[in-house]
Structure 1
């Protein structure tokens, strides 16, 4: 579902052609696809009601939203083509709540909602409305919601980042085999998007066929039995997810420890290279410019956030090329999939340490150029 042209706002930078490419790619994997573009509020809601019927009992249901979006009171909304928001309460009837779309996707065994969100030119006087994605209540356990942007992206860059994420998603959807993780990584623009919910390990190449209906001779289970079974499944899934989360935290802690160790070694080397301070200079007052300089850690964090934006705009083909180059140099041993996860981050850190640059896990423009041209 894509909205590019608006009655009351400037165009969205994501063109409907990109969304059509997404639909064609998913259709080639066996999905039944409905592409709806530049529609008003009534048509959008009617389309979602129809999709809710189709999603029921399917193996996988995917909803792609592209266009202007806003957040308010912990909820995010897609704006249909005829929306005009004058106050936050208008969103309840004139916007499409992402949380409601997630509920529809959740009618399938597995659901996913991808929102390639751009920024409308809404009056800044509406202080209760933000250009940031918001979702205070997580979706059900069988649904993941992915935003192409987050608080990490300056508002002025949201359109550019989301447009690139949409193009990456359309490209990723053509791959065979196709996994949910691949689509999520593309839609979330690497590390600058927002992912809410559980990313199921799914092979999307099999398509979203419906569940097999029970034989006529089998008795229908009672509502109590259904609820009990669902509760047992939910508890088992919760336990599994907690275990996965604990494992992920352990991996993150290990990665942070390696990074801190590298930083400590660099700091130690830098300190050893500095001449010993003269006693007479120790008593001198610190220059005002130095007193006002930001802490080194804050400057480094700002630098990393800027590099995340650089990475988000690379595109999948260039990311794959970087993985190939690092593989050829012996730093990378993972798949060439344009997903910059833990394995790629470690390869980047090893490369940066090898060339004597600061170890951040995020490539600078100069490092990108050196790898591609090298």
Structure 2
């Protein structure tokens, strides 16, 4: 039997012998989108670090073009539909036109106000995405004025847009107040017991110059105490195990090649990839979205996992490593 066939059969046995994704995951699923352009990267780093306190899955987009930003928004929207709550953090130039705010992607050129409809992204589009989550979410904006001149009728954004039905709340903070906002966010999100975004947002709105579209009308829980239901212990007799029969040593099988491991990975279903991402996340190796896509972040997480075990760093899991990770779900 070919080594690849053996690997694939081993994979099937592993997958069938372990609990399903629905059985293994009982925690809240919080996702976050961090969009930055032309800003100090440490601000996004600080926000990402704070989000780890609520175990949020974070997708980062840096200096995106209009097309790239919209593509990542579509990706994030699909994940929002399968999440408990969603947060979008935007640290980009912002402008307003006719009571509407727009995010200016990298390379956006505004010769006239109507260029906003093809060169920029409406802020409410992000608010609509976060509203797709089961409990809703919010958009937090650090708005900076653009560096280039603006056409007549277009001005730098200075306040949050008014709330609208079906959209999540928007918190607008001037970019020059980034430090107090990020400190306040870290403090609010660091509650060791319970974090409710409906209470976090009004607290953040006390940042100088900040405005909030409206207080959330219902709780948006990002962290809650774990409920443990103790089970009564039963006392039963423990039989003494019989001595194990003597084992005959068998020669060790040759290690699979990277090509074989790559084929093995391609055979994994998105559900299995999500389980792996979730475990790698708990181990501190994977900060991205639990999306079932074995991309660059997943590859880097696997490499870090292998390095931690002092094993060959290929970025592709061996059957033994795969079994080990899935057994932890």
CA-to-aligned-CA distance 1:198-246 (integer Å, 9 cap, x gap):
4233331149xxxxxxxxxxxxxxxxxxxxxxxxxxxxxxxxxxxxxxx
Match of 2:79 among 47, 50, 54: 54
Per the alignment, residue 98 of structure 2 pairs with 73
Deviation at 1:70, TM superposition (A): 0.7
1:137-156 alignment runs, 5 A limit? 138-141=163-166, 143-148=168-173
SS at match of 1:33: strand
TM-align CA RMSD? 2.6
Could you tell me the TM-score, scaled by structure 1's length?
0.46
Higher helix share: 1
Among residues 45, 48, 65, which one is paired with 1:23 in the alignment? 48
- Structure 1 position 4, deviation (Å): 3.4
8 Å Cα contact 1:143-1:197 kept in structure 2: no
Give the counterpart of 2:210 among 193, 201, 204.
Answer: 193
Residue 43 of structure 2 aligns to a residue whose secondary structure is: helix
SS at match of 2:58: coil
* Greater RCO structure (CA 8 Å; 6+ sep): 2
Structure 2 CA distance for aligned equivalents of residues 135 and 160 of structure 1: 16
Matches for 1:127-142 after TM superposition, within 5 Å: 127-133=152-158, 138-141=163-166
Residue matched to 2:220 = 202
* 1:115 alignment partner, SS class: strand
1:94 Cα deviation from its structure 2 partner: 1.4
Q: Is the 8 A contact 1:69 1:76 kept in 2?
A: yes
- Contact 1:76-1:134 at 8 Å conserved across structures: no
SS at structure 2 position matched to 1:27: helix
Query: What is the aligned length?
Result: 189
Structure 2 residue aligned with 1:2: 35
Residue matched to 1:355: none
Structure 2 counterparts to residues 347-366 of structure 1, below 5 A? none
Within the candidate set 64, 83, 95, 2:120 is matched to 95
> Match for residue 281 of structure 1?
none
| TM-aligned CA deviation for residue 120 of structure 1 | 1.2
Find the aligned partners of 1:43 and 1:170 in 2 and give their Cα distance: 29
Contact 1:118 1:162 in 2 (8 A): no
Give the Cα separation in 2 of the matches to 1:147 and 1:39: 21
The residue that corresponds to 1:113 in the other structure is 139
Q: 1: distance between equivalents of 2:64 and 2:95?
A: 18
The list of structure 1 runs, each at least 4 consecutive aligned residues, that deviate by more than 6 angstroms after superposition, is none
Unaligned 5+ segments in structure 1 are 6-11, 149-157, 208-374
- Summarize the alignment of residues 228-307 of structure 1 with structure 2, pairs less than 5 Å apart: none
**Which residue matches 1:266?**
none
Note the alpha carbon deviations across 1:319-366, whole angstroms, 9 max, x for none. Answer: xxxxxxxxxxxxxxxxxxxxxxxxxxxxxxxxxxxxxxxxxxxxxxxx
Runs (5+) with no aligned partner, structure 2: 1-33, 226-329
- Report the Cα offset of residue 24 of structure 1: 2.9
Summarize the Cα distance change of 1:82–1:142 in structure 2 as closer, same or farther, 3 Å threshold.
closer
Paired residues of 1:20 and 1:35 also in contact (CA < 8 A): no
SS of equivalent residue, structure 1 residue 34: strand
Residues 135 and 92 of structure 1, relative CA distance in 2, 3 Å threshold = farther
